[in-house]
Structure 1
């Protein structure tokens, strides 16, 4: 392994950004192309793009997107599964001063409408199959003007009033000498949709500098070298793939290997084929891989490190022993990036780790005072630098202000520290759920449940899953005398929401437990667990996925 190219910014001081080129995503890529023009930057199955080829294609894409009439600051939605065109659209938008809106390919109906409409998407990059879901919308968001179609398939239907351009036509248009705008480190680069607890998903506005510092800190914490090959099969519409692997890899001058999707049976073979040295994983991936039949090839690979959400010791130690890797745990939120890492050396298994150099974190009690070591309270955050946390929720200043108190950003998560300053997670203070790496708004699930005839009250809560994170339990209160058919309720949920949000468990109650002011006592529902709940999986029902 060669010496790492990741600069030690801690030795230089936090104000030195010379390793981040001009402080923009496009500038970082251009710098790596100048330094390593013939080095593979991106590998996807049989496709290999060098840094120079990637840089040229990104410039053509930037010019092509501007040729649609989109102006700097306009939103570009990307509604695609993992493929190289996703990266080109994302990086091209960044170089053009446009703002990426990553859209989960499980979205449909009101979820897709909200994703497009609330962020003001003007240009949408998608494929023919997913464009059908856009065409299904009762009303096309008025801001949407252009669809860029990826792939050879022709759409069966085109949304009315929308111009459709092919990917090749857009690249050809980008070959002209369209002047690219100046982009600043503080400019927005993405609006990431995240789930709230009291309303619709909010758009988290992130800057170029936030993305670059997040990538740099991940590379520093993982001690990533320039000759490494970083793999992700997580969806590119999530920051885990975009930042924790892709920008992390580009910052280090390494090679990024992109997989289509997670397959436990093919996982290690794919890593062997591409000589992968690092990958990232959702918490649920690790127990799934452990459940595969043991093989004499379990250590026949080049992987040394895995970045993952905190894993329980009963998963972490067996995984490391079987596969010969080290798991690096971390903690972050869409609004503030990754801010805690369990260090490669002196780690404490079960902890979230220590703050990054740009992060200040504390545990506060209910009165807002700093809690003593061992005392549980809310995890709160402050940045040490400008422009490295979100600038606010898109067009929602009230929601932005609601997360700030006493000049601290409040995570809504409960935790504690030990005497050495390591942070530990206790529970979620808010009602957002997390399932298979997806954040879920309980409010949105409940809205779908309440739309079903005969249901007068509903609550969605998390219930522990053997794969880690949560399964969703729906507790519903029907009208007096109304008989509910739970298989039909499941089908209603499957038609109306993304597959990862569809509850697996359902319980019917005569009356939901409520507080004196009418709020549902969700802690009571969680404490009751899923005893006597109807299990859709045991009934042979699974949510429908888009492929």
Structure 2
């Protein structure tokens, strides 16, 4: 904490807590948040945010402390996020599918001191061999007492948290450069990293999203994506509140109930990741396909073979864009000058180029790496938590390197080609191949493993595990799948498994994953075809 910021409500365009206070002054009686049948006006939201902020400080949180949120989409998630921001604390969104080593790493690497969760999810924390050393307090929602709790950790109810706060307590100053969140991103050569967000980064990202999508204050924005994702947090929730609109949160995606929920809440915008658009498009046509108020959809990816039929059938306009956890969305395909297939043009605060292998700007049509520079301070990540070497490794010649390949056209529009990195993307989730491989290597008889992407019939990736076994060993694929299902979040569990005599490697010993992807999966064991699907925990 710098201590040089302002109190809530000031610098509204610069801090998350200030943004909420400013909208409450402008629209005190207007609906701000709708979730699970609960509706909060901007005035009620602002008041509740201050209550949570004072409660967190009263139970021992100090500015700069990390507050983990392990929750599905619900009102308390938003209140904890904004309450932490107003108190100068740092939100850590934790994927509700995490368990075991993944949950332990998420909490431990971000130094989570306070955790807000539900009884069922607290069981996963209690299952850890030992709680992270920084974790002192858990706040549990609901009226049901948790069955098991982590040893040596104080457990409070949500009601006790709110009651602890003193309404007269002065809240700390928070500045635009102060950290507001640590978002966990997938590593490509190591474990997931904690991406530290300054306040201004979240606020500018939300404001630019509203500008690019032409969002007005009389709109109703919807997401059913989980709030531990930036797509739901910033691209819908904070985006909608930045515009003074109403934000509607769904619990999770349901293809059969999606449009009914959209109609019931009079939604004008929603966002979609992964296979959501193809899945909705695959549903049987209905005479009610255009019986809704949606005008615009922010979606990534939306290839032409999906975009055109979706727009024609449902009567919406799809906006594509490009961004990464570390740099926010930096490209949007403009509403009034769209080029289908492009990922768009840079936002006002972004300098984006394509560079060749020597670091020179690539000519139009020439493939190279997409690189980025911000136009102002504190609008990209402040670094990876506790990992300055990894932070520096992403910078070269004063450019942040995305690891993604692309090109531009003569008009300056950007086009995405492929990832240079080994990260995978499945059902809207980023996956670290390194973490998948570490679980595969723990299975008896596996001496080498590589996790690579293979095309899915729904778009994005499926995960293919390529294995090298001990000499003379055979693999029980059903047993290996069960091992992975026990150890990994459901979205990380490989669907395909293939055994090779020896993994192809470079002269320096690195696996040539391009070769493995090129070999396909025709001879792979398919868990879905064999009747196995990963278990969900929420």
**TM-score of the superposed pair, with normalisation by structure 1:** 0.96
Equivalent residue number for residue 132 of structure 1: 123
1:310 to 277, 301, 313: 301
Deviation at 1:151, TM superposition (A): 1.4
Give me the whole-angstrom Cα distance separating, in 2, the residues matched to 1:504 and 1:180: 49
The equivalent residue for 2:242 is: 251
Q: Does 1:38 align with 2:34?
A: no
Match of 1:339 in 2: 330
- Please name the residue that 1:14 is paired with: none
In the alignment, is residue 358 of structure 1 matched against residue 349 of structure 2? Answer: yes
Q: What is the number of residues matched between the two proteins? A: 530
Q: Contact 1:340 / 1:352 at 8 angstroms: preserved in 2?
A: yes
Q: Which residue of 1 aligns with 2:4?
A: none
In structure 2, C-alpha distance between the alignment counterparts of 1:21 and 1:449, rounded to whole Å: 48
In the other structure, the counterpart of 1:189 is: 180
Q: CA shift at 1:179, angstroms?
A: 2.2
Pick aligned residue for 1:404 from 392, 395, 405: 395
Mapped to 2, the partners of 1:162 and 1:171 lie a distance apart of: 19
From 353, 365, 371, the counterpart of 1:380:
371
Specify the alignment match of 2:43 in structure 1: 52
Q: Does 1:162 find its partner at 2:153?
A: yes
Deviation at 1:22, TM superposition (A): 5.5
Q: Which runs of 5+ in 1 are unaligned?
A: 1-17
TM-score by length of 2: 0.97
CA apart distance, 1:309: 0.8
| Residue 328 (structure 1) aligns with | 319
- Structure 2 residue 58 is matched with structure 1 residue 67: yes
Contact 2:13 2:203 in 1 (8 A): no
Write out per-residue CA displacement over residues 162-217 of structure 1, whole angstroms, 9 at most, x where no aligned residue.
Answer: 00000011111125423210000110000000011111100000011000000000
Task: Give the alignment of 1:72-471 within 5 angstroms.
Answer: 72-471=63-462
The answer to whether the Cα contact below 8 Å between 2:130 and 2:150 also exists between their aligned partners in 1 is: no
Counterpart of 2:5?
none
Moved over 2 A (4+): 174-179
Q: Confirm or deny: 8 A CA contact 1:20 1:212 kept in the other structure.
A: no
Deviation at 1:85, TM superposition (A): 0.6
Q: Deviation per CA, 1:375-408, whole angstroms, max 9, x where unpaired? A: 0000000000100000100011000000000000
Candidates 507, 512, 533, aligned match of 2:524: 533
Equivalent-residue separation in structure 2 for 1:492 and 1:20 (angstroms): 51
Give deviations 1:389-440, integer Å, cap 9, x for gaps.
0010001100000000000000000000000000000000010111111111
Tell me whether 369-378 or 510-519 shows the greater mean CA deviation. Answer: 510-519
Q: CA deviation at 1:44?
A: 1.1
Match of 2:411, SS? coil
Q: 1:20 to 1:333 in 2, by over 3 A?
A: farther
- Cα deviation for residue 19 of structure 1 reads 11
* Per-residue deviation, residues 107-146 of structure 1 (Å, max 9, x unmatched): 0000000001011000000000000000000011010000
Output one character per residue of 1:243-299: Cα deviation in whole Å (capped at 9) or x when no partner: 000111111000000000000100000010000000000031000000111110000
Within 2, Cα distance between the matches of 1:22 and 1:438? 30
Using the TM superposition, give the Cα deviation of residue 153 of structure 1 relative to its aligned residue in structure 2, in angstroms.
Answer: 2.0
